[in-house]
Structure 1
Amino acid sequence: MLVGYARISDKTQKVDSQIDILKKAGCERIVEETITGISTKKTQLNHLLEELQEGDTLIVARADRLARRAIQVLEVCETLNKKEVNLVILDLGVDTRTPSGKMVLSIMASVAEWERDQLREKQRRGIEAARKRGKHLGRKKKHNDESMEAAIAAHQEGTKTVDEICRIYNVSRATLYRRVNERKLKSL
């Protein structure tokens, strides 16, 4: 069965052009949905993916109607592939029923992986640059250096419990133990 999926982001848009394209492609059934592409809760699409059976073909007019990013399209492809359901993305010329369509999909997968790698590299460089400028990364400290020194001193005195020290000096138990152990290692 040829099943079309048409999605618009909000009710101010019209789904008519997608439906016309899907009908022209021979879709026997068309599922429509009004939901933003960013949302991962595409209810109609999720139901459709569950319903499709081996040998069926899902057809969309454009890749961005299926998902926002290439990786999301590939996740849908993987779901369909496991069920032995074909996918046709009309604007890209992807038709997994053909060898060339499978090749285009493989190229998309490579590009998506490259994009992820590029983003990771860009993020890594940004983090390194921030560290070189002395920028503190991660969660903001709950304590200052003076309160940590006082907490370590109180721990070494042994007159208060760890819970009391953490509450009084506003330090976490894990950080206190980590700093106490660091001091022990430095003194060895």
Structure 2
Amino acid sequence: MLIGYARVSTVDQNLNLQKDALEKAGCERIFEDTISGARAERPGLAKLKEQLRSGDTLVVWRLDRLGRTLRNLIEWVTWLESEGIAFKSLQESIDTTTSGGKLIFHMFGALAEFERNLIRERTQAGLLSARARGRMGGRPPSLDKKKQKLLVKLYHDKDHSITEILEMFHISKSTLYKIVRENPPEITANIPHQ
């Protein structure tokens, strides 16, 4: 089924041009929004997404009607592909039911992967740079070494329940077990003198 989406940015603008083109393209249903494309919440687009099924084709008059940024378009195209939904943009002549359209579709996916790799590389470079300056990433420890020793002692003495220990130190159960694992109990057994 061909399902269309039309959007204008303001109430003053008219949807007729887009709706006429979508109907001419064979769209059986058309969802519409009168809202800026920069807004994340678009009710017509949300309803459209609920209606789309595998085998359907989403049709827009122009790419910028679906998303204002390349990232947003890539997210949409990637989602459509994962759901088995074709995509068609009338003005740009993109149609993923054709070989050329599929090529464009895969180019979008390649761009998305390229962007993810760039972000990963920048993050790794930033972490290495910080480490070279003596800074370590991650969350600071919730308890200093002295409190950690006390916690481990209370845990192994078994005079207090786990819940009591958690409340005393204001930590989660996973934090408690992590500290216990990382800090083995000190051996305090008295060795008899000979």
| TM-score, normalisation: structure 1 | 0.68
Query: In the alignment, is residue 61 of structure 1 matched against residue 61 of structure 2?
Result: yes
- CA displacement 1:44-87 (0-9 Å, x = unmatched): 3124424xx85x65321233432424022221244354xxxx42
Q: CA RMSD in A?
A: 3.5
Pair 1:87–1:155, CA change in 2 (3 A):
closer
Matched to 1:94, the amino acid is I
Q: How far apart in 1 are the matches of 2:62 and 2:157?
A: 69
How many residues align? The count is 176
Residue 17 of structure 2 corresponds to 20
Q: How far apart in 1 are the matches of 2:125 and 2:135?
A: 14
Deviation at 1:6, TM superposition (A): 0.8
- CA displacement 1:140-186 (0-9 Å, x = unmatched): 65434332222223234443333222222333333233222323399
Q: Mapping of 1:67-86 within 5 angstroms? A: 67=67, 68-81=72-85, 86=86
Identity of aligned residues (%): 26
Q: Mapping of 1:35-184 within 5 angstroms? A: 38-39=40-41, 42-50=45-53, 57-67=57-67, 68-81=72-85, 86-130=86-130, 133-138=134-139, 141-184=141-184
| TM-score, normalisation: structure 2 | 0.66
Q: How far apart in 2 are the matches of 1:185 and 1:131?
A: 31
Q: Which has the larger radius of gyration?
A: 2
Deviation at 1:136, TM superposition (A): 4.6
For structure 2, the residue ranges without an aligned partner over 5 or more in a row are 188-194
Deviation at 1:107, TM superposition (A): 1.5
2:77–2:108 Cα contact (<8 Å) kept: no
For structure 1, the residue ranges without an aligned partner over 5 or more in a row are none
